[in-house]
Amino acid sequence: MRRAITLVCVLGPAACGADGVLGAPCEVGSDCDDGLMCDLHQGGGSCQQPHAEDEDEFMPVPGGCALETRDDDYALGLAKAGAWANVTFVEATPAPPDRGDNTWVVDVHDQAGNPVEDLAIVVDPFMPDHAHGTTIRCDVTPADVPGRYVLAPVNLFMPGLWEVTLGLEGADGDDAIVFSFCIDP
């Protein structure tokens, strides 16, 4: 997480190792600096520049998203439960999610239905078929309603299936919720 990097780096860049920079090890996109994506290989991942040639190589199958069965059907109120958190879409711009930058507004409740405030949320878009993430980090801003958060930009730059993991860190512990959307060319 960026916050951890900032704390570690008070000793100066020389003491900071290669956290998040080109070639550094990573598990998800938010491990990497802005402008880099986490490319997964066998046995681990590394922070890499986006490679444009991938787009031609990985064009979706004929039929596109109509044939995709792993994705969620977007609708207002789409909700998913994790270990302790329930995350519900209250807005998506555009709707349904589309290629490029998306703005999502979600409500987070606990199992008892109470809104959960003061969460740290890390948003990690990932393309499972291509083993890469995105280069643009998503900002998370609490909205004016308790337990409501604005996620922007959720960058889905390539056609195909995206799994977007919301990593939650709160008083009740960590949780992870995955929304999957297929993006047509």
The one among 32, 47, 92, 127 contacting Cu ion by CB under 5 A: 127
| Closest CB to Cu ion among residues 19, 39 | 39
Structure tokens at 105: 């507004």
**116 in Cβ contact with 166 (< 8 Å):** no
The stretches of 112-177 forming alpha helices (DSSP H) are none
Binding span for Cu ion by CB under 5 A among 64-72, 96-104, 121-129, 166-174 = 121-129
| Closest CB to Cu ion among residues 26, 158 | 158
Question: Residue 60 contacts by C-beta under 8 Å, 6 or more apart in sequence?
Answer: 159, 160, 184, 185
3-state DSSP call for residue 11? helix
38 binds Cu ion (CB under 5 A): no
Binding mask 77-116 for Cu ion (x = CB under 5 A): ----------------------------------------
Tell me which residue has its CB nearest to Cu ion: 130
130 binds Cu ion (CB under 5 A): yes
122 binds Cu ion (CB under 5 A): no
User: CA–CA separation, 103 vs 17, rounded Å?
Assistant: 33
122, 79, 72: which is closest to 96 by C-alpha?
A: 72
Residues in region 139-158 near Cu ion by CB under 5 A = 158
Q: List residues near Cu ion by CB under 5 A.
A: 127, 130, 158
